[in-house]
Amino acid sequence: MKLYLNGSEIEATSGSGDEVVAGTDRLIVRTPGGSFSALAVRDGDAILVSYQGHQYRLETRRPRAGAQGAAASGEYRAPMPGQIVDVLVAAGDTVSKGQKLIVLEAMKTQQPFNAPFDGTVITLNAVKGAQVKDGELLVVVEEA
């Protein structure tokens, strides 16, 4: 079966020593480096996963033309309704790959959004304490 991660075809492999255990409201990912939690939400035929500050979209069929994930475009949207609990950047700020930008709390889980690459914050719609809707544009980072 073909899998697509943020619009790019990937190969599912096993034997890495990693294990994913489904809990009631989150996934526990056990790796040689420790255990981490991930949040997974079904969105139609896709599954949206928030893991270690990154958001992923898993699909079993090729996404429609032009669809891009945050890692490719630098555009972050709320994967579900929630509340912005922290805003760590401002529009115009220069950011480094992996730098925490904002934190969204949804389903009792805080989900950090990290810069996918070195760049500049060109759009910031996230306001600390604000409620956001599913799919709402939160922040856009332009690659340097």
Encode pLDDT of 74-122 as tens digits: 888 888 889 999 999 999 999 999 999 999 998 778 889 999 899 999 9
> Could you tell me the CATH number of the domain that includes residue 115?
2.40.50.100
Q: Do 121 and 84 share a structural domain?
A: yes
Is 115 within a domain?
A: yes
Are 139 and 77 part of one and the same domain?
yes
If one counts the domains in the chain, the total is: 2
For 86, the domain range is 73-143
Residues 50 and 81 in one domain: no
Does one domain contain both 137 and 79? Answer: yes
Helix, strand, coil percent content, the chain, rounded in steps of 5: 5, 55, 45
The pTM of the full predicted model, rounded to 2 decimals, is 0.58
Better-predicted residue by pLDDT, 142 or 135:
142
Residue 83 and residue 106 in one domain: yes
Both 55 and 79 in one domain: the answer is no
Query: Does residue 21 form part of some domain?
Result: yes
Q: Which amino acid type is present at position 127?
A: V
pLDDT per residue over 29-87, tens digit each?
878 888 888 887 777 777 778 888 777 777 766 544 333 455 567 888 888 889 999 99
Residue pair 142/119 in contact (Cβ under 8 Å)? The answer is yes
Q: Give the pLDDT confidence score for residue 97 in this predicted structure.
A: 92
Same structural domain for residues 93 and 52? no
One domain, residues 126 and 82: yes
Beta bridge partners of 48: 41, 57
User: Does 64 fall in a domain?
Assistant: no
Is position 65 within any domain?
no
67 in a domain, yes or no?
Answer: no
In this structure, the answer to whether residues 100 and 127 fall within a common structural domain is: yes
d(CA 88, CA 7): 28
Q: What confidence score (pLDDT) does residue 40 get?
A: 79
